[in-house]
A = this chain, B = another copy of it.
Amino acid sequence: MTVPVRRDAGVTVPAGFRAAGVAAGIKASGALDLALVVNDGPRDAAAGVFTRNVVKAAPVLWSREVLKQHRLRAVVLNSGGANAATGPGGFQDTHATAEKVAEVLGSGAIEVAVCSTGLIGERLPMPAVLSGVDSASGALADSAGAGLDAATAVMTTDSVPKQAAAGHPDGWRVGGFAKGAGMLAPNLATMLSVLTTDAEAEPEVLDRALRAATAVTFDRLDVDGGTSTNDTVLVLASGASGIRPGEAALTEWLTAVALDLVLQLRADSEGATKDVDIVVTGAESDGDAIAVGRTVAEDNLVKTALFGSDPNWGRIAMALGRAAARIDPDLVSIAINGVTLFANGTTAADRSAADLSGRAVEIVIDLGLGEAGATVYTTDLSHGYVEENSAYSS
């Protein structure tokens, strides 16, 4: 079934959720920088996936522990500081933030996840964070505008907020927002996302559905190989629809909303001028397909060629040849935007036959060995990327 996804609203589309985004003064600019998403129930199942980077920010360490109960009343998120590499003091700051949210909501800190994004290595301005929680609590609403404020408050170098939502014909819904504009990589990115649903779901079903959804969406977005200290995707299920979908439907709807958020993240990633789908087919295993897709996605010579609108399949062949996957060069074919340029170990068509003048690029790599496949979502490497990332912290 094709899932119809809308982008004009997000976490407040499912019933049972309120959200807010406020300017707490964490960012010097005065922009929105603190978001709160509250699950009013009647149920409180939740699940989360976190960065696999061994250097984990304090909020990741906290939220990972909290999620072991598979229940969440609320998520508090801040931009303006990652609270990573901040030592025991940084962890205390995260804990104090969760305690403050619990206090204003009348719940326990153990029911509050915390997410942070921004520069690594700086402590958060805690008076601003704590008073921001008060402001956000007062601003909580179930309106589309409140969801948009929350989506806006988590932005760092993002140029636009990213929201998505989809309703199931049976009457339950999924919504969400995401942020992330660089460091988009294997196994998440400087990427935060909160998904909500008013479906009823047992915690273990919700957990499996989230992992299945992120495996083919957030985990397949690879802009620059960076895997952040703070990456987090959470899902909260209020059960307010009173409907308990099957696991397959829940997974499909979560996947559709997550994929839409991923495509928005890619379109807004730092300096990108091309939206590139790398479709690997004919692999011996999913792992091989993913390895080939990621190695090509991360290759700077491939990425700069794409920036130059150059269908340089030779660089793609070079890149896939160093992937940790079984490959027989004589069986590989490479097509760019529908034109097969390499097959049977040599040139199949003059590369001028492939048109890369548009923003959308599809590279299909058929390994010719088996039945497995994977799609990896990436971008080109442009002057804009270099400019934005060489100036970010100054």
Listed in ascending order, the chain A residues whose CB lies under 8 Å from chain B are 52-56, 82, 84-90, 119-122, 182-183, 185-187, 224-229, 298-301, 304-305, 307-308, 310, 312-315, 317-322, 327, 329, 342, 344-347, 351, 381-383, 385-387, 389-394
Which residues in B have their C-beta under 8 angstroms from that of A52? 322
From B86, B229, B329, B390, A307 is in contact (CB under 8 Å) with B390
Contact A121 B347 (CB under 8 A): yes
From B305, B344, B390, A310 is in contact (CB under 8 Å) with B390
Q: How far is the CB of A185 from chain B (nearest CB, A)?
A: 8
Query: A17 vs B86: C-alpha distance in the bound complex, in angstroms?
Result: 60
Query: A232 vs B390: C-alpha distance in the bound complex, in angstroms?
Result: 34
Nearest chain-B residue to A223 (Cβ)? Answer: B300
Which residues in B have their C-beta under 8 angstroms from that of A319? 226
From B301, B329, B351, A183 is in contact (CB under 8 Å) with B301
Which residues in B have their C-beta under 8 angstroms from that of A89? 346
Nearest 4 A/B pairs, CB to CB: A120-B314, A308-B390, A55-B321, A87-B346
Q: Is the interface of A mostly helix, strand, loop or mixed?
A: loop
Which residues in B have their C-beta under 8 angstroms from that of A54? 321-322, 327, 329
Query: A24 vs B128: C-alpha distance in the bound complex, in angstroms?
Result: 70
Query: A229 vs B298: C-alpha distance in the bound complex, in angstroms?
Result: 17
Contact A322 B394 (CB under 8 A): no
A-B contact pairs, 7 of them (CB 8 A): A54-B321, A55-B320, A88-B345, A121-B347, A225-B300, A304-B389, A312-B393
Q: How far is the CB of A383 from chain B (nearest CB, A)?
A: 5
Q: A87-B345, A314-B85 are in contact. Are A298 and B386 (CB under 8 A)?
A: no
Which residues in B have their C-beta under 8 angstroms from that of A342? 85, 121
Q: How far is the CB of A264 from chain B (nearest CB, A)?
A: 21
Q: A55-B321, A228-B318 are in contact. Are A391 and B308 (CB under 8 A)?
A: yes
Which residues in B have their C-beta under 8 angstroms from that of A393? 305, 310, 312
Which residues in B have their C-beta under 8 angstroms from that of A187? 322
Query: A229 vs B322: C-alpha distance in the bound complex, in angstroms?
Result: 9
Which residues in B have their C-beta under 8 angstroms from that of A88? 345
Contact B229 A318 (CB under 8 A): yes
Contact B55 A227 (CB under 8 A): no
Q: How far is the CB of A293 from chain B (nearest CB, A)?
A: 15
From B307, B312, B321, A53 is in contact (CB under 8 Å) with B321
Contact B345 A304 (CB under 8 A): no
Query: A344 vs B313: C-alpha distance in the bound complex, in angstroms?
Result: 46
From B119, B121, B304, B321, A385 is in contact (CB under 8 Å) with B304
From B53, B225, B347, A85 is in contact (CB under 8 Å) with B347
Query: A186 vs B299: C-alpha distance in the bound complex, in angstroms?
Result: 13
Nearest chain-B residue to A332 (Cβ)? Answer: B55
Q: How far is the CB of A144 from chain B (nearest CB, A)?
A: 34
Query: A321 vs B308: C-alpha distance in the bound complex, in angstroms?
Result: 32
Contact A84 B305 (CB under 8 A): no
Query: A382 vs B304: C-alpha distance in the bound complex, in angstroms?
Result: 12
Q: A342-B121, A390-B308 are in contact. Are A318 and B53 (CB under 8 A)?
A: yes
Query: A121 vs B342: C-alpha distance in the bound complex, in angstroms?
Result: 9
Q: A314-B85, A345-B85, A346-B87 are in contact. Are A227 and B386 (CB under 8 A)?
A: no
Q: How far is the CB of A155 from chain B (nearest CB, A)?
A: 18
Contact A120 B389 (CB under 8 A): no
Which residues in B have their C-beta under 8 angstroms from that of A322? 52-54, 185-187, 226-227
Q: How far is the CB of A157 from chain B (nearest CB, A)?
A: 12
Q: How far is the CB of A247 from chain B (nearest CB, A)?
A: 31
Nearest chain-B residue to A391 (Cβ)? Answer: B308
